[in-house]
Amino acid sequence: MSESQNPSQPQWGRNPKRKVKYGAPKSVQGGGAPLGPVDDPALLAQAAVIIRSERPATPPPVTRSSREHRDPDGTDEKLRDLVVHMARGLVDHPDAVDCEIVSAGDGGMLELHVHGDDVGHVIGKQGRTARSLRLTLDAAAGLADRRMTLEIAD
């Protein structure tokens, strides 16, 4: 097929003319009508006025010294026992599992000690098992309206 027979059809491929499925917006079809409130000069003059509210007073920063040391209570010991129970199910040397309460109360921290050969079992591939242990601890601590973190000692 030569181009002289049908000039609107290309020799191969699809038709280069794009068919618009939806028409252009009515504001564009009418000509130079504004597209939005930004083009209106009266609204631009009103937008130059910026109203600012007063900033609230900032609370004093919390320092580490303001945290009081708390003794472990029953909830902290239950959370420690939960971590020990889960870790003993994962390792080859369950008698060597020990968990220490580093800090108690809300925002407390637990430190898990296992046998040297079992550290890989507790951490898991790419830390997935350790993440699961921390997630379970966080959920159990959330039921007691607390936050606890878990550190795995080498």
Which domains can be identified in the chain, with CATH numbers?
72-152 (3.30.300.20)
Cα–Cα distance for residue pair 74/77, rounded to 1 Å: 5
Per-residue pLDDT of the chain (154 residues; tens, 9 = 90+): 454 555 555 566 666 666 656 555 554 455 555 555 556 666 666 666 666 677 777 776 765 544 556 788 889 999 999 999 999 999 999 999 999 999 888 889 999 999 999 999 999 999 999 999 999 999 999 999 999 999 998 7
Q: Which residues of 14-38 are buried (b: 16+ CB within 10 A; e: fewer)?
A: eeeeeeeeeeeeeeeeeeeeeeeee
CB-based contact 147:141 (threshold 8 Å): yes
- pTM of the entire structure? 0.55
